Structure 1
């Protein structure tokens, strides 16, 4: 191999090792040094999120979706070239080595950017970190209590017909609720409709946050009664809340404490989905008794969701769920997808704690 070509391979190899070391150092510092984590949140994530919000909120389409598409095409191109050079390695040995290093560099670069732009937030303390969790017991009795209370609240909300606003209106209300909670320490929040269309229905995704662009995307095909909670959940990620149960908790607290009927009902309904499923698994008779008390409109809403899930059921969903389950476990959420339903416990503590709600501090 000519000296010039050999140098090119060495430079790329050194770049790969250097980036791996930097990634490990960054992750280690975030996880083990609270002072560095505070520096990251205050001086890296927050300014970058504000800049991205200022730049991209004016656009009606998602820059993040375009970034995902370009990254996928780039990875496909590198893979095709790598396979081609592998089968012609005698003739293209140098090109194969270069393409192999590019193939290895690709995920390292993406993960480093993910960690730098948002992923470091996985090292934050949980919202319940300072709660007095020993004051209340979480068991089947508490779960039944929570289910009954949610049913009562949904029944009360449905005494008067609920009118749902459009996505623009939902965004404005949710953004105002967050800024009232955070005292304007966060960027302006906005959730955009995804450009992925019905694809999200087939993989069972209601919304997602793009760490590279700082944008939150929303599946506009889900029913209106889901919109306020899902939008609020994705906005939680924009504020730096990484854990899924924390994002659910914050969406519940802001919705249930608001004076907006559609936000209150959406909060109660979404938590009921988790609480009822958990109770049904533990005690089907108790779950049946709870459901018998539910108003007809909320039953219709439950049926609407079931029908949607049946319509878009696919084997691909199992694959994507499995991948996301592993992703969550890799980032400290040991229960994977089950982390979402952990919110039932936190909601119960929120509603029954002897601490004042102001002291529970859900807005960091």
Structure 2
């Protein structure tokens, strides 16, 4: 009995040591650009393989994996509270943590340390006046494009064909400027409605990328004004842009030049809201005036969004907002509620006078 206990202790210490070694190893890798570039190549390879295996499945296989993993961890945690099984449960948890952490870092985690997009854009001053001018520009664009989309019986923007939007996003990936992205686009549609859609509505999470299956999950219950840009954002993760605000910018580039009015409106409207959010603390009256100048159609869409948010407020929203904020900052990103990096990218890009 004593011998078995000693062996188990040594095994636990070994796997705990391996986990610590992984933390140190990947931290070191993150500082070496040549190594990060190697992981970018691994990402392109595994993405193609994963999409071959999982894209054809009609539901989110990645969500199923998360559910199974969650059940397994809950089972092992329960065993931790029983003296007879505590040691073996801890041993198994350490093995799972090692496997998941290693796989995550190889498939995705290292991409947070790619050369940032901002380094590829010219420096310019991000003044309040520049942001105001852009906000007025995207207000007029949103008003014009809004007239081209369909409405439901309540006069709210509604999407009739989500698949055509998904296909348009994949097509638009091929048009990204070479100086910003030389990543490989795909023709494989791997957008999946999340199995956690109803729960997601209470978390403030609109969508997420699964690095273990290369699927782009979205909350199918979102208002239509959110949905196309959310898909565009998640497709940017599928391209290999890990940072959230960079995925927003790539999503912007995908959507803003689209000939699909639904995708273009959702993108323009997101851009307008981001600009107004960046202005409100400095000039609240400007934002109030801009909101008052929304078209009647846009006002209905805004009211629908606010209604959706109000119906799904709660502790889950606060909790996931807090934990997501910590996750973003741990990966050298701004917090979830900060718009400045996306706005910096937008202003720098627009300063190049690119239509």
- Tell me the TM-score normalized by structure 1: 0.88
Residue 266 in 1 paired to residue 266 in 2?
yes
Indicate conservation of the 8 Å contact 1:202/1:316, yes or no.
Answer: yes
Matching of residues 280-319 of structure 1 within 5 Å: 280-319=280-319
User: 1:236 offset after TM fit, Å?
Assistant: 0.6
User: 1:309 offset after TM fit, Å?
Assistant: 0.4
**What is aligned with 1:59?**
57
Residue 127 in 1 paired to residue 128 in 2?
no
**What is aligned with 1:170?**
165
**Separation in 1 of the partners of 2:285 and 2:339?**
24
Residue 147 in 1 paired to residue 135 in 2?
yes
The 3 A distance-change label for structure 1 pair 203 and 341 is: farther
| Aligned residue pair count | 343
Q: Superposition RMSD on alpha carbons, in Å?
A: 2.1
The 3 A distance-change label for structure 1 pair 113 and 340 is: farther
User: 1:165 offset after TM fit, Å?
Assistant: 4.1
After superposition, give the CA deviation of every residue in 1:95-150 in whole Å (9 maximum; x if it has no partner).
433323333444343222211111111011111212111xx221221221121111
Q: Unaligned 5+ residue runs, structure 2?
A: 151-157
Indicate conservation of the 8 Å contact 1:175/1:190, yes or no.
Answer: no
User: 1:298 offset after TM fit, Å?
Assistant: 1.2
**Separation in 2 of the partners of 1:114 and 1:84?**
30
**What is aligned with 2:68?**
70
**Separation in 1 of the partners of 2:339 and 2:245?**
5
**Separation in 1 of the partners of 2:165 and 2:274?**
23
**What is aligned with 2:184?**
185
**Separation in 2 of the partners of 1:179 and 1:168?**
18
The 10-residue stretch of structure 1 (286-295 or 50-59) with the greater mean CA deviation from structure 2: 286-295
The 10-residue stretch of structure 1 (65-74 or 3-12) with the greater mean CA deviation from structure 2: 3-12
The 3 A distance-change label for structure 1 pair 186 and 196 is: same
**What is aligned with 1:242?**
242
Indicate conservation of the 8 Å contact 1:255/1:263, yes or no.
Answer: yes
User: 1:240 offset after TM fit, Å?
Assistant: 1.1
**Separation in 2 of the partners of 1:6 and 1:124?**
44
**Separation in 2 of the partners of 1:184 and 1:317?**
34
User: 1:74 offset after TM fit, Å?
Assistant: 1.2
**Separation in 2 of the partners of 1:28 and 1:184?**
25
Q: Unaligned 5+ residue runs, structure 1?
A: 86-91, 358-364
**Separation in 1 of the partners of 2:246 and 2:351?**
18
User: 1:16 offset after TM fit, Å?
Assistant: 2.9
**What is aligned with 1:45?**
43
User: 1:202 offset after TM fit, Å?
Assistant: 0.7
Indicate conservation of the 8 Å contact 1:189/1:238, yes or no.
Answer: no
**What is aligned with 1:88?**
none
**What is aligned with 2:148?**
160
Residue 328 in 1 paired to residue 300 in 2?
no
**Separation in 2 of the partners of 1:113 and 1:72?**
17
The 10-residue stretch of structure 1 (15-24 or 224-233) with the greater mean CA deviation from structure 2: 15-24
* Residue 82 (structure 2) aligned to one of 74, 81, 84: 84
The 3 A distance-change label for structure 1 pair 339 and 120 is: farther
Indicate conservation of the 8 Å contact 1:23/1:112, yes or no.
Answer: no
Indicate conservation of the 8 Å contact 2:183/2:240, yes or no.
Answer: no
User: 1:157 offset after TM fit, Å?
Assistant: 1.4
User: 1:295 offset after TM fit, Å?
Assistant: 1.3
Indicate conservation of the 8 Å contact 1:46/1:186, yes or no.
Answer: no
The 3 A distance-change label for structure 1 pair 50 and 110 is: same
The 10-residue stretch of structure 1 (221-230 or 53-62) with the greater mean CA deviation from structure 2: 221-230
